[in-house]
Amino acid sequence: MSYTPPGQDPYAQQPDPNAQPNPYGQPQPPVQQPYEQPGLQQPYAQPWGGAPVKQNNGLALAAMIVGILAIPSACCALLGIAVGAAGAIMGHISMKQIAQQGQANRSQALTGIICGYVGLGLGILNAIAGAALSLNGGFGSF
């Protein structure tokens, strides 16, 4: 047995001089550039080159919500017509605002327009079908 000086671990493993370096070991820190100060982190760059973030149009979001609600509300003819028309009109107004002010959520306004017109059309079809059935005397009389 060999002598271990005080303060050292007698059971510590001695490094193997023939061992290959561990490819999964901790990465070495990058070499510091001469113009960098030690200990200071470089500021993060803007993700898109500093382009300003566009604002969203609140009316476009409201048009999308009302337009989507117009489709199931078309089960009641007058409600479907009213809600569908409101969604389509709000969508058109918000599209104009988005074009003038350069805002971001054009797709929400377009969804409000499309769903509003679909709800409006379904409401009109429901009203026509309801009127035709009541003029014929309903389902019971043939």
Using CB atoms within 10 A of its CB, is residue 82 exposed (0-12), middle (13-18) or buried (19+)? Answer: middle
Contacts of 76 (CB under 8 A, 6+ apart): 123, 126
Query: How is residue 26 written in tokens?
Result: 């901790």
Task: Enter the pTM of the model.
Answer: 0.59
φ, ψ of residue 77 in degrees (nearest 5): -55, -50
Reduced to 3 states (helix: H, G, I; strand: E, B; else coil), residue 27 is coil
DSSP state at residue 31: P
5-18 pLDDT tens trace: 676 666 666 666 67
Q: Are 71 and 77 in contact (CB under 8 A)?
A: no
Residue by residue, DSSP assigns 76-95 as SHHHHHHHHHHHHHHHHHHH
How many residues are given for the chain?
142
Query: How is residue 102 written in tokens?
Result: 């350069």
Query: pLDDT tier at 133 (50, 70, 90 boundaries)?
Result: confident
Q: pLDDT value at position 142?
A: 45
Q: pLDDT value at position 3?
A: 67
CA distances from 42 to 28, 45, 109 (A): 18, 9, 40
Q: What integer best gives the mean pLDDT of the chain?
A: 80
Query: pLDDT tier at 44 (50, 70, 90 boundaries)?
Result: low
Q: pLDDT value at position 135?
A: 74
In this structure, the number of other CB atoms found within 10 A of the CB of residue 16 comes to 7
86-132 pLDDT tens trace: 999 999 999 999 999 989 899 999 999 999 999 999 999 999 999 98
Report the percentage of the chain scoring pLDDT > 90: 49
